[in-house]
Amino acid sequence: MVRTRDGKNYLVPFSLITLLFFLWGFANSTHGVLNKFFQDALQLKSTDTAWIQAMVYGGYFLMAIPASKIISRFGYKTGALTGLCLFGVGALLFYPASTTLSFTFFLFALFVMGCGMTCLETACNPYATRLGDPETGVQRLNMAQTFNGLGCIGGPAIGLLVYSGDTETAATEDGMFRVALPYICMGLTAFAVALFFSFIKLPDIRDVKSQNVDEADAKSGLIYNKGFLLGALALFMYVGAQTVLNSYFIGYTTSLEGLDISPKTASLLLGFGAMTLFLLGRIICNWVMKFVEAPKILAVFSIGGVVTMFLMAIQILGSSANLAMYMLAFFFESLMFPAVFALSIEGLGKKDTQTASAILIMCIVGGAVVPIVMAWVENLTSMAFSFIVPSVCFLFVLIFALYKVIFLKKTNI
């Protein structure tokens, strides 16, 4: 899987890159805990806390193209190092934010972290797909994203630390420091990893000719690529759905009638229940993709996502069944990011890969837009019915998967 057709073995660089996938997976899942905490501590509405995701993913939209230019000129390693440094700065800004008790300051820190994660994803996602045979690119990225899923398990466990005090003390400096502490640790870790990577030699697999290709020409070519355009839209929708699933989990489960779930218990369910299913889904897909084409698996998982969210939205199930549907959705969404990303850049050629990857990373801004739409729907209807939004998002992923299945059949004729 990490050996090229000409015999080169990229096992060591691939293994090192997977460490970075773990780091931003841990950070993203920790962001989800903040929603419920800030609602309780600062008496904010869901529309207010939606800005948490908006700041993080707004960084993705604004930083993707600059990150692509850095990678194009200096290489994937420099792009990753830039991301680690920005990530570290943003995480450490949580300490002064906690002393000022300013929600705006926290949002700024999250934005800087988002810019850092943008550089990391713009560098690492396409790099992972190219560290081996192109035909196993989806499987390779899914393997790397499995470590991202492993990091996602740790984030909700931070909720136990965040909710260790009562709501009355949460808005104090001590309460906010509990929020800042895991971010301070993440910031120090990011700088330590950056120092380590600065001494590691990674293969530069950029295409030298592609560095001289006019970026406007690359973009214009992508505009006429239906598969890429559908993939970009699917990724936008998927990240939006993933974001609301993470950020709404604690608030939704604690509101279920008859179950009496506390925020601490909800954090445990998210980290060791839902996220474990998410990780399990990626592990299973790594094995299944040896026998079944990725687009077909993606189609099945997309249907699962549509159905689980739709059943929650129409409220025909009881509280326990709704919780089960919610957690099962994490299993179905597990394959979506690596499959959509890798299938979208599949067959583009080396000269378009960097530009296409940057555009796809920009589409992660869906994580900023969809939560705001869902909060708006929630205010108009109810929290339960608002889950129709991620159901529609998964429907777009299904459309992309079916397109790739049809395209696969045509190429095999």
In the chain, the domains with their CATH numbers are 11-199+214-412 (1.20.1250.20)
How confident is residue 140, by pLDDT bands cut at 50, 70 and 90? confident
pTM: 0.82
CB 289 within 8 A of CB 297: yes
Dihedral sign computed on CA atoms, order 342, 118, 67, 185: negative
Quickly state the pLDDT bin for 30 (edges 50, 70, 90): confident
pLDDT score for 173: 61
DSSP secondary structure letters along 160-204: HHHTTS-HHHHTSHHHHHHHHHHHHHHHHHHHHHHHHHHTS----
Q: What is the pLDDT of residue 209?
A: 46
Do 30 and 158 contact (CB within 8 A), yes or no? yes
pLDDT at 377 over 50: yes
pLDDT tens readout for residues 379-411: 999 999 999 999 999 999 999 999 999 876 665
Q: 153-157, 184-188, 379-383: lowest mean pLDDT where?
A: 153-157
% of the chain with per-residue pLDDT over 90: 37
Q: Where are the alpha helices (DSSP H) in 256-335?
A: 263-269, 275-288, 294-314, 319-333
pLDDT confidence of residue 239: 94
| pLDDT value at residue 230 | 94
Asked if residue 289 has pLDDT above 70, the reply is yes
Distance CA 81, CA 254 (A): 39
According to the model, what pLDDT value does residue 410 have?
64
pLDDT at 123 over 50: yes
Q: 64: how many CB neighbours lie within 10 A of its CB?
A: 24
Task: Check residues 358 and 409 and name the one with the higher pLDDT.
Answer: 358
Confidence tier at 5 by pLDDT (50, 70, 90)? low
- pLDDT tens for each residue of 239-267: 999 989 988 898 899 989 888 888 778 88
Instruction: Report the pLDDT averaged over residues 171-185.
Output: 76
Residue 373 has pLDDT above 50, yes or no: yes
